[in-house]
Amino acid sequence: MMFDAHRQNLGRLEEAGRRRRLVTAGGRDFSSNDYLALAGSARLREAAMQALARGVPVGSGGSRLLRGHHPEHEALETEAARFFGAEGALFFGSGYAANAALFATVPQDGDLVAHDALVHASALDGMRLGRAEVATFAHNDAGAADDAIAAWRAKGGRGTPWIAVESLYSMDGDRAPLDELALVAQRHDAVLVVDEAHGVGVSGPDGRGLAHALDGRPDVISLKTLGKAPGCEGALVCGPAVVCDFLINRARPFLFSTAPSPLAAAVAREALRALADEPWRRERLVALVAAAGRLLAPLGVTDTGTQVMPLVLGEDARAVDVAAALRSQGFDVRAIRPPTVPSGTARLRLSLTLNIGEADVAALARALPEVLS
Active site residues: 33, 120, 166, 170, 195, 198, 228
Per-residue DSSP letter, 168: B
Residue 2 has a CB neighbour count (10 Å cut-off) of 6
Distance (Å, whole) CA 49 – CA 56: 10
Q: What are phi and psi of 264, to 5 degrees?
A: -60, -35
CA neighbor of 52 nearest in space, from 230, 225, 236, 265: 265
Helical H segments across the chain, by residue range: 4-15, 42-53, 71-84, 95-105, 121-129, 142-154, 178-187, 241-250, 252-255, 262-277, 279-296, 316-328, 358-372
Cβ contact 150:144 at 8 Å: no
- Alpha-carbon gap, residue 315 to 141, rounded angstroms: 27
Residue 350, SS3 per DSSP: strand
Distances (CA, A) of 315 to 170, 318, 319: 20, 5, 6
Beta-carbon-side half-sphere exposure of residue 66 (alpha carbons within 13 Å): 12
DSSP string, 265-291: HHHHHHHHHHHHH-HHHHHHHHHHHHH
Q: How far lies 335's CA from each of 82, 166, 227, 339, 344, in Å?
A: 38, 22, 21, 12, 13
